[in-house]
Amino acid sequence: MGKTISEKILSVKSGSDARAGDIVISAVDLVFVQDTTGPLTIRQFKSGNKQTLAAPRRTALFIDHASPSPNRQLSNDHIFMREFAAGTGCLLFDAGSGVCHQVVAEQLARPGDVIVGSDSHTVTAGALGAFATGMGSSDVAVAMSLGKTWFRVPETIGIKVTGKFARGVGAKDLVLYLIGMIGSDGATYKALEFMGSAVENMPVWQRLTVSNMAIEAGAKVGLFCSDDITKKYLKSQGRGQEYTPISADADAVYERMIDVAADQLEPMVAMPHAVDNTAGAKSLAHIRVDQVFIGTCTNGRLEDMAEAASMLKNKKVHAGVRLLVCPASKKVFTESISAGHIQAIIEAGGIILPPGCAGCLGLHQGALGDKEVCLSTANRNFKGRMGNPEGEIYLASTATAAASALTGKICDPREVL
């Protein structure tokens, strides 16, 4: 009987015939932490008997969540991380490098890898065909030390997306629609595997958006097969030689299949305070917004900057709306400057933030005031997420966010395109 992508990767990395439901011990190819979970991970690592890293050059520390630091405590956490990196020889991506998941996609993730990170959005690298999943500090500390971890091999839900996306509709709308349909626990303990004609033609930057949000349905991983599009992406990052083809067998066994017709999708929004609380953008046209945030590991890529810039060029952000734009990595930032996207966004009234997580998790750079409404391209809108339980967060695509920044209300982007 054939295997899913998860079963194939975990078979290779565990040296066994891994099938859904099995418990396996798997080699780990890349392990990383960020600055809000890293200090605890390092302390857990140091409380272990074995004090050496299994693979220093495949262990990465990212300073991205509070970057640059807003206060002394987090500054001291950053010092603690820098000292650990200097002492062990592991990789350090300091403030300004960008969000860990974007940098992992650009520089580190390879098809077929097993990747664990102490951040739930580690699933993002599933877009490149890596079995990438978020874990807590203890599990990640053990993976750093031993170079392995244990998994229950997940059952897989196949998501077959066919047809073509309409103008103004894309990957973010697809994944919000899917989460709205199956719920925030609809894929708990499961793998999601994306397939179908709409996926075969989907560029990597959009695949990353879809994989990034697999965790919002509870999934362990959100996987795409690796293909020519993956190969071209890796080549564009100077890593063409790291490509390997990974795909499911034709007779792989799926727990269930969900069919989605891309051409039937419309711009989607997740309403407060749950990612599965979704509605069409059109039905929310009465909601006034105080802040629009374009960025994060979900939608802070070069193509997001390009889309925002093209919609905002020679226009003005609506009076009373703060538009915050944050490129997800230094590479995205410099390329967006070269392409003129940053200039167009600033001239329209946008505020550019340094590459990192910015206001996504409520630490700094865009915390909400009481009763304020934010339309964000991030992946979470939980109560309190952006620093204030009295704030309201709506999630949408970059196109919907840019359109809403122009009109001051939640706006179906097809109305301004």
Partner 1 sequence: MAEHILRGKAFKFGDGISTDLIIAGKYAHLRSNLPELAKHAMEDANPEFVKLVKPGDFIVAGSNFGLGSSREHAPLVIKLAGVSAILAKSFARIFFRNAINQGVPALICPTDGISEGDTLEINLEAGLVHNVTKNESYSFTKIPPTMLSILNEGGLIPYINKHGDLKL
Closer residue to partner 1 in complex, CB, 134/168: 134
Nearest to 361 by CA among 379, 384, 386, 383: 386
Return d(Cα 75, Cα 345) in angstroms, integer: 30
Q: How many residues bind partner 1 (CB under 8 A)?
A: 57
Stretch of residues binding partner 1 (CB under 8 A), selected from 162-170, 185-193, 233-241, 310-318: 185-193
Q: Is 148 in the site for partner 1 (CB under 8 A)?
A: yes
Closer residue to partner 1 in complex, CB, 183/203: 183
Helix, strand, coil percentages (3-state) for the chain, rounded to 5, are: 40, 20, 40
Query: From the CB of residue 280, how many other CB atoms can be counted at a distance below 10 Å?
Result: 15
Closer residue to partner 1 in complex, CB, 67/226: 67
Q: Whole-number minimum distance, CB 251 to partner 1, in Å?
A: 27
- Return the residue of 51, 76, 236, 343 that touches partner 1, per CB under 8 A: 76
Residue 31's H or E segment, with its range, is strand 30-34
Angle between helices 228-236 and 204-212 (to 10 degrees): 100
Nearest to 221 by CA among 305, 151, 319, 291: 151
Nearest to 233 by CA among 214, 205, 201: 205
Binding mask 380-409 for partner 1 (x = CB under 8 A): x-xxxx-xxx--------------------
| DSSP per residue, 208-241 | HHHHHTGGGGT-SEEE----HHHHHHHHHTT-GG
Binding mask 85-114 for partner 1 (x = CB under 8 A): ------------------------------
Binding mask 9-28 for partner 1 (x = CB under 8 A): --------------x-x---
Which stretches of the chain bind partner 1, using CB under 8 A?
A: 23, 25, 36-37, 39-40, 44, 47-49, 65-66, 70-71, 73-74, 76-77, 80, 117-120, 122, 134-139, 141-142, 145-146, 148-150, 152, 184-185, 188-189, 218, 220, 274, 361-363, 367, 380, 382-385, 387-389
